[in-house]
Amino acid sequence: MKLLEIKNLGKSFDGVEVLKDISISVNRGEVLGIIGPSGSGKSTLLRCATGLEQADKGVISYEGSYGLVFQNFNLFPHYSVMKNITDAPIKVQKREKAEVYKEARELLKKMGLSDREKAYPFQLSGGQKQRVSIARALAMNPDILFFDEPTSALDPELTGEILKVIKELANENMTMVIVTHEMSFAQNVADHIIFMEDGYILEEGSPEEVFGSSNERMKMFLGKFC
């Protein structure tokens, strides 16, 4: 069953086309990996897909709701970890407080952060902040979770802990769209990969197809990571 379908998406900034005729679809339980050089339009695609940016052309259709995890965590600095996680479910979704807190504690446990619920973002490591922001997204019970380079603000040691969490979510069949520069991770966790360049999808397919591609541009890009 398709949870997200994007058809012929186009987006320009100041007359410059940064997304050109992008079509993707994501089925329930599927992980879509998006790779490609800086400036190729990956973040703009995610921002259009999630309504943070208005597309100029194309159709975006969803079944269900989505959550978003950013590169720079985007936690509320003046809220505790617990309040960061529980605020939207209580205020936006109008869910019962006790139940939201119970679920938040379960999420914190899963993220290995049970002892940090009263901490503030400035007291956390980058990896911990990112795990809080994943917990915050999951607390809304999204059908799809979008990640925009979730590890690129982290050093290699902390990157591993975030990739492990995302891998676990994939094993639980969470539907995810992940923009990443971690090539071996993309290869390992994604069911389908798109390679973007210059606002286009240059190559797409299974990890085997994309990473085994004979396209010269693709090989050059991947070569930089090996």
Total of chain residues touching ligand ADP, rule CB under 6 A: 10
* Under rule CB under 5 A, residue 44 binds Mg ion: no
User: Between residues 54 and 214, which has the closer beta carbon with respect to ligand ADP?
Assistant: 54
Binding mask 190-209 for ligand ADP (x = CB under 6 A): --------------------
* Under rule CB under 6 A, residue 52 binds ligand ADP: no
* Under rule CB under 5 A, residue 43 binds Mg ion: yes
* Closest residue to Mg ion: CB criterion: 43
How far is residue 170 CA from its own chain's centroid? 12
140-169 residues near Mg ion, rule: CB under 5 A:
none
18 binds, among Mg ion, ligand ADP, none (CB under 5 to 8 A by kind): ligand ADP
Binding mask 10-29 for ligand ADP (x = CB under 6 A): ---x----x-----------
Of 3, 22, 35, 44, the one binding ligand ADP by CB under 6 A: 44
Q: Per CB under 6 A, which region of 35-43, 76-84, 96-104, 156-164 contacts ligand ADP?
A: 35-43
